[in-house]
Structure 1
Amino acid sequence: MAHGGGGAMSSELVRHLFAPAYGNPHLEGYADSTAVTLGGARLAMSTDSYVVRPLFFPGGSIGDLAVNGTVNDLAMSGARPAYLTCAMILEEGTELELLDRVARALGAAAEAAGVTVVTGDTKVVESGHGDGVYLNTSGVGLVPEGVDIRPQRARPGDVVMVSGPIGMHGVAIMSVREGLEFDVEVRSDTAPLNGLVDAVLAATHRVHVLRDPTRGGVAASLHEIAEASGTGVVLHENRLPVPEPVANACAILGLDPLYVANEGRLLALVPREVADQVLEAMRAHPAGAEARVIGECVEEHPGMVVARTGFGGTRVVDLPVGEQLPRIC
């Protein structure tokens, strides 16, 4: 299970088994989407699979995740997502009413994100060999001229910002699985981020890195960026936007909010001189209304992420081995 959790074991699997087998330079960035050139156009491509349990949860469903996850991966390359594919792996005995709910949720999410599902596939496995419905979506989008966004472009001096509160998706899933109750219902933050990215790029193309911190949370995403760029990252714990219900749930379960998955947030690393401009553009968009600066890139401790605590100390934010909560997307 840890090999699929987005942490150190996932990284080892990709770097030491899959990448050597496929052997091409497009894989070297180890990003969630890759920009390629075809017929003079720059296209971003991405694919992802969804095995979340339960299929429906506060704030969303597997159908929403399948669309938003792929749309967001494309947007993190600066692309404008256009078309998706959808493959469904169904377990024998799954009720058609349930499948209809999933399909309708997926269709509504695609319409909301402004993308079109243009082809797909259906497979059925024997009862007991699946979990109702698994989904795979792939996507393609156009990268605007002058946009070059990838993990390797992070530089010392870059400002690190996040588009809103973190940890909500993972805690929403936990609340259903573990029967946790809060004074306020915690709902998944699943949402398409292509509109927010468009707003940022309309303000400036001087964006070095965008990343949606899904599996492994903010910590895993920043580790991947630090390693790819050879920079260090410093976070300020007192600036992290952790909602009270998320903090309470993590305290009860012994989790760190930095490692909890998000499905509707992005991290942006930009040069300091355009940080205010980017922050203003993010806050003017509904998906980034609560955006804030949470850290910066530094020359010290390249490839590492550290957090400065409220007591003036510093702690290393390690890359997780696996995942605190499996099957969250």
Structure 2
Amino acid sequence: MDPDTNKPNGQAAQALEKIVRVRQARRNKFYLREERITLSHGSGGKATHNLIEGIFAPAFANPLLDRMDDAATFTTGAGTQRLAFTTDTYVVSPLFFPGGDIGKLAVHGTINDLAMAGAEPLYLSAGFILEEGFPIADLRNIVASMAAAAREAGVMIVTGDTKVVQRGKADGLFINTSGIGLVRAPGTLGQDQLQPGDQVLLSGPIGDHGIAIMLAREALDIENDIQSDSAPLHTLVASILEAAKQNVHCLKDPTRGGVATALNEMAIASEIAIVLEEGAIAVRPQVRGACEILGLDPLTIANEGKLVAVVAPAAAEAVLQAMRAHPLGREAAIIGSVQAEPRSMVFVHTDIGGKRVLDMLVGDPLPRIC
């Protein structure tokens, strides 16, 4: 077995060859032209990918990183134990918002990145950057929220760090969380694993989190009851894996950049095309209305409690029923399929009978949403 890819050596060589080919394709697609960092570089969309491909990926290149999945997976010891490892940093503004806060978001986000690797989350770290003058009462509430979220999800925060910077050198509080988990998925999951014929499933309505943050931050005069969908998805993933056995090819939570960016990442990595049915993609009326007023596409809006599952066609119905039987997947639907050509493209069949190209997020209409 190859320690980096968890595949027999012959298959590992083929996998690495594909990774090299896909990385070359990505370099042709993404260009870092800016001379200074902009807010768009944190959007999760094209500018973020330009930054990653232009700076980080070449410097840190290795077989684990080059797959560009939500978490790295690897074997330990004699190769019998598979682990997943991930990290994320949270800079959301405001710190408290309908449906959650930065602490709850940090715990859920890292749990979900581990879950997308087919892993059972076990342990988290928590790093805090505090600005001088930050209210102790707010910190106490955020830490209590983190503790409750971890306890409810069955994970432990086992290590951490705290730094304080001068007033004006940060925006109140930033949190970094890392996590490690035990991989339960029987096969290899990843955005480079999609195959023609696969079915694309979505666990529920999209756009709730990003719009909740936007309305809370800007105090827009729009009547709504939109709340963040922040939630830990590992138990939903466990249900999916049980129903599909070895027929799950990719799991991804569409956070920054939304469903559009997540699917484009899969299409590029797997060198396939994805075709969506617009009418199958659920958007709450309040979210759709806010997006229309603000000129936003729900498919590019961040989510924190939804996932996209790409599964073999034979398993699609069983996975759909398993998702709908779970509290976090009651509104799940099959929203599209995978086809061979044209490579690295995502399309949407619209409700009016047309067909449009769905690109990943360009720019950043909603900065600092996670």
For the residues of structure 2 that align with 1:163 and 1:85, how far apart are their CA atoms?
Answer: 28
Aligned residue identity for 1:27: L
The alpha carbon displacement at 1:183 in A equals: 4.9
Q: Residue 48 in 1 paired to residue 88 in 2?
A: yes
| TM-score normalised by length of structure 1 | 0.98
> CA offsets, 1:177-210, max 9 Å, x none?
2223555410000000000001111112210000
Pick which of 169-178 and 252-261 moved more.
169-178
2:242 alignment partner in structure 1: 202
The 5-angstrom pairing of residues 237-252 of structure 1 reads 237-252=278-293
Q: Please give the root-mean-square deviation of Cα atoms over the aligned residues, in Å.
A: 1.1
The alpha carbon displacement at 1:145 in A equals: 5.9
The alpha carbon displacement at 1:90 in A equals: 0.2
The alpha carbon displacement at 1:165 in A equals: 0.6
1:310 alignment partner in structure 2: 351
Aligned residue identity for 2:53: R
Q: Residue 119 in 1 paired to residue 159 in 2?
A: yes
Q: Residue 7 in 1 paired to residue 45 in 2?
A: yes
For the residues of structure 2 that align with 1:4 and 1:249, how far apart are their CA atoms?
Answer: 23
1:25 alignment partner in structure 2: 63
- Structure 1, gaps ≥5 residues long: none
Aligned residue identity for 1:47: T
For the residues of structure 1 that align with 2:221 and 2:107, how far apart are their CA atoms?
Answer: 28
Aligned residue identity for 1:4: G
For the residues of structure 1 that align with 2:294 and 2:244, how far apart are their CA atoms?
Answer: 41
1:281 alignment partner in structure 2: 322
Pick which of 72-81 and 170-179 moved more.
170-179
Q: Residue 231 in 1 paired to residue 269 in 2?
A: no
Aligned residue identity for 1:126: Q
Q: Which of 145, 161, 178 is the matching residue for 1:138?
A: 178
Aligned residue identity for 2:68: Y
> CA offsets, 1:151-195, max 9 Å, x none?
111111111110011000011011112223555410000000000
For the residues of structure 1 that align with 2:278 and 2:183, how far apart are their CA atoms?
Answer: 34
Pick which of 306-315 and 186-195 moved more.
306-315
> CA offsets, 1:274-293, max 9 Å, x none?
10000011111101111001
For the residues of structure 1 that align with 2:298 and 2:51, how far apart are their CA atoms?
Answer: 25
- Structure 2, gaps ≥5 residues long: 1-38
1:163 alignment partner in structure 2: 203
Which of these two proteins has the greater Rg computed from alpha carbons? 2
Aligned residue identity for 1:16: G
Do the aligned residues in 1 keep the contact of 2:110 with 2:178 (CA within 8 Å)? yes
Aligned residue identity for 1:83: Y
The alpha carbon displacement at 1:144 in A equals: 2.1
C-alpha spacing 1:274/1:181, structure 2 compared with 1 (3 Å): farther
Q: Which of 269, 284, 290 is the matching residue for 2:331?
A: 290
1:185 alignment partner in structure 2: 225
Q: Which of 88, 96, 100 is the matching residue for 1:60?
A: 100
Aligned residue identity for 1:36: F
The alpha carbon displacement at 1:241 in A equals: 0.2
- Where 2:266 maps in the other structure, the secondary structure is helix
Pick which of 74-83 and 138-147 moved more.
138-147
The alpha carbon displacement at 1:321 in A equals: 2.4
Do the aligned residues in 1 keep the contact of 2:119 with 2:185 (CA within 8 Å)? no
The alpha carbon displacement at 1:116 in A equals: 0.3
For the residues of structure 1 that align with 2:185 and 2:72, how far apart are their CA atoms?
Answer: 15
2:131 alignment partner in structure 1: 91
For the residues of structure 2 that align with 1:250 and 1:193, how far apart are their CA atoms?
Answer: 25
Aligned residue identity for 1:141: G
| Percent identity for Structure 1 against Structure 2 | 52
- Where 1:152 maps in the other structure, the secondary structure is coil
The alpha carbon displacement at 1:12 in A equals: 1.7
1:172 alignment partner in structure 2: 212
For the residues of structure 2 that align with 1:142 and 1:66, how far apart are their CA atoms?
Answer: 20
Do the aligned residues in 1 keep the contact of 2:127 with 2:176 (CA within 8 Å)? yes
